[in-house]
Structure 1
């Protein structure tokens, strides 16, 4: 099972999360591309640390929204979104190459991630951007999303993702961060939940419903309270059960 986290989300002197500690735990790093978070120096340093620890680098593309951390919907015209995603991919890939590796997958961030679960126009734009930049890049997204459906139709490799620290609705979508039950905080509970996900392919939704969730990768948000502790707990629980933590995109440098 792959374990991923959103990293490189500081900006200038402002730091968010403990990227150094998280890179000792995860197998894949969703590194910001400068639009929702991350300045070039921070992103280069994060790529360098990922290469040093053998963690695979992924580009976390998002809306052009530093003030809102990419968590506010933007009504893009298709050519604008295509160009913005390609721009972000090129920027992070350049930094990754300077660090000794390259971008090996793509994961949308925040509001863009949630929007393209159902928004066909924006999902198609992201798919087109990835295909035009590098059709061999896998894309990470929510199981059953329009995004993964269109990506599969376009010939991209699709990777299904589950969230260790987020609540789910009965339909398999994520509970909004504005609503109760959106975030989980207990490392032991989260670890047990993820072992159940991997072994039984089920999770308990916020209303108590048991839902089926197929996933190839588990995300622990780098900016969540106690994120490193949760990631360590999940890593330990899975490995103790004989489930190795390895990236879906192959080994890092």
Structure 2
């Protein structure tokens, strides 16, 4: 399997595997790159079709929802429809396998994601979401979760409902919105606390499919580094990040299964 990679990358994979196999506390942060390998467009990709003339400020801010809730809701229903048939890729499955394997070893593998899809969960991982959940909704006014419109509503592809009609909260009559952290909003307190604790106490921090340059998530790698952890980056386009100790410049779906196989074999 490793023969598929270049000699230089093979050496880096083996180095990373030896490091990870020798440590107990691992913190993994995943970003848009890992979902892109399953065919989910990144937020920074150019919008297409009906949405090509809209920007972030029109579709993913609290102000946009106040200004035109129907437009924002319609876009998220479109996004749900776009990702409904997407499945976990080998990178998601490798991380789930690693977490499962860690249950019978001394390792603790904490998985944090910036993604709003549920591909990690579909693969079997326990994951903390920093930016919310695409398949969950809550009231935009009183913040109470809206239980009637959840991922369960979309599980059967024969009965999926992507109706763009606005929904009202049964408690305050406010409009229902996606349970997503929009630009300009704070990260969920508990999720961020989990991420901060995991980063500050880990021995190795792994960044997968994310630049590690955008705050506040970028602060996690820096916190790990400041507390003595080594930092591994998995990204086909490595970032100019001076805190990275090992760079695996390849798609996560290619390198992660090989890396996890090496770790579990040691």
Largest Rg, 1 or 2:
2
Does TM-score exceed 0.5, indicating one fold?
Answer: no
Structure showing the higher helix proportion among its residues = 2
- Under a length normalisation based on structure 2, what TM-score does the superposition of the two structures give? 0.31
Higher relative contact order (CA 8 A, sep 6+): 2
